[in-house]
Structure formats: structure tokens, C-alpha cells
Amino acid sequence: MTTAPENRGGDNGGSQNNPASINPLGGNGQSGNNKQATKYIPDMKSLGSTGVETMAQQSGASLAGNPTPSTPTPKLSIAEMLASSGMNTLMSDTDNPSEAISAGLDSQLPANITADTRDLENLEVIQKYLPAMINASRIPGAPDSFKQFVNYAIGRING
């Protein structure tokens, strides 16, 4: 005796197998409105509501997870970010002009050192690099701004 092939259960080839019928944004498949369909939920009385009220509530607002495309944040340069955040840069005026320049040091500056030693440091470094900078200023295509800086450096050394 032959038996007919078993054909109960299993995949019936329904619409869920068709990728075109699935909403890529989630939600309720072919409805495409990003909202889950309202459903009558029985036995809500114990929670102080009725099934009809719950159903009305569901149609009132989008689901919490309703996907909305996010707007990409425009990319800012570091300088723009600093400017927009109101942060000071290294070259900004101090916010606390009455604070001593030695604030934060473990001990006070020695008496023979003035607070601002920039001039001395400038002179020291310029002396070290001036010969090479003079040579570099003769390179074809050297920008005028570089030549001006070299002239300033020569002036500092000559006093």
C-alpha cells in the first residue's frame, strides 16, 4: 500500500516569504505607515481600562520606537568648534588678569627672574636658528612673510 506524501504543516508559501511585502522600516508589514495596527485587548478591566479604551489609545500616538531618519551633524573644524563653544584659545585674553603669572608654581619665582622671560627666550632661540633661516630665505619661492620674519630676527640680534 502506498501512502500519500505528508503535506500537513510546514511553510505554505505565504506572503511573509515575499521580501517585497515587508516594510524595511519595521512596523506592520504591508501597511507601510510605521504604526502597529490597533488591537483589541480583552480583560483590561483589572487594569482600570476597557478593551475599547485601550484600542483608542493605541491609535492616538506613534510607537515609542517609531524610526525617524536622523539628521547628520555637520562636521566642524577644531577652530569652528572652539568658536561655537565659546572656549578660549591660547591667544585669548586671560579671564583672570589679577592672577599672578606664577600662580600654580610650587614656589615663588626667584628674585632675579622677571615674570615675563619671553624676550630672553626669543633671543636665545633666534640666535640658534638664524643662520639656517637666512639661508632658507634665499630659497627660490620663499614667501615674503618668511623673509619678513628673518628680517625681524636679524633686527633682534643686532639690537
Partner 1 sequence: MDKWLYGSLYDSIDKFANSLGYENAAIALQLALVPWDSPEDRDAFISSITGEAPKGGETTNYITGN
82 binds partner 1 (CB under 8 A): yes
Contact code string over 104-143 relative to partner 1, x by CB under 8 A: --------------x--xx-xxx--x---x--x--xxxxx
DSSP string, 32-80: -SS-PPP---S--GGGT--HHHHHHHHTTS--TT---PPPPPPP--HHH
Please, which residue, 65 or 143, has the CB nearer to partner 1? 143
**37/159 Cα distance (integer angstroms):** 86
Please, which residue, 40 or 129, has the CB nearer to partner 1? 129
Buried b (16+ CB within 10 A) or exposed e, 108-145: eeeeeeeeeeeeeeeeeebeeeeeeeeeebeeeeeeee
Out of 70, 77, 94, 158, which residue is the one contacting partner 1 (CB under 8 A)?
77
Beta carbon of residue 96, minimum distance to partner 1 (angstroms, whole number): 19
Using CB under 8 A, list all residues that contact partner 1.
Answer: 77-79, 82-83, 89-92, 118, 121-122, 124-126, 129, 133, 136, 139-146, 149, 152-153, 156
